Amino acid sequence: MKTLELRDKTNEELQSLLLEELRSQFNLRMRKGTGQLDKPSEIKKTRRNIAKIYTILNENKASSNKEKT
């Protein structure tokens, strides 16, 4: 997932994408615990995607607060 793609999305779309990534992260952790995880690198990718989404959401929030004042 590219950062530029995330910047084009609305906050509602980012929230739904975040929820989807968090669910994916949970499922990956469960599969890791049971020994069924084929690609351990997926956990790292998912964690970084979540961080990107949080960063974009915080930037959007900061810019909207700045515009109000």
- pTM for the full predicted model: 0.90
- What CATH number was assigned to the domain covering residues 3-68? 1.10.287.310
Give the per-residue pLDDT at 65: 85
Q: What is the pLDDT of residue 17?
A: 97
Kindly tell me if the per-residue pLDDT of 64 is higher than 90: no
What lies within 8 Å, CB to CB, of 56 at 6+ separation is: 3, 6, 7, 9, 14
pLDDT tier at 34, thresholds 50, 70, 90: very high
Is the confidence at residue 19, as pLDDT, over 90? Answer: yes
Cα Rg of the chain, angstroms: 15
For position 68, what pLDDT does the model report?
Answer: 76
Q: Where are the domains of the chain?
A: 3-68
Q: CA-to-CA distance for 22 and 6, rounded, in angstroms?
A: 16
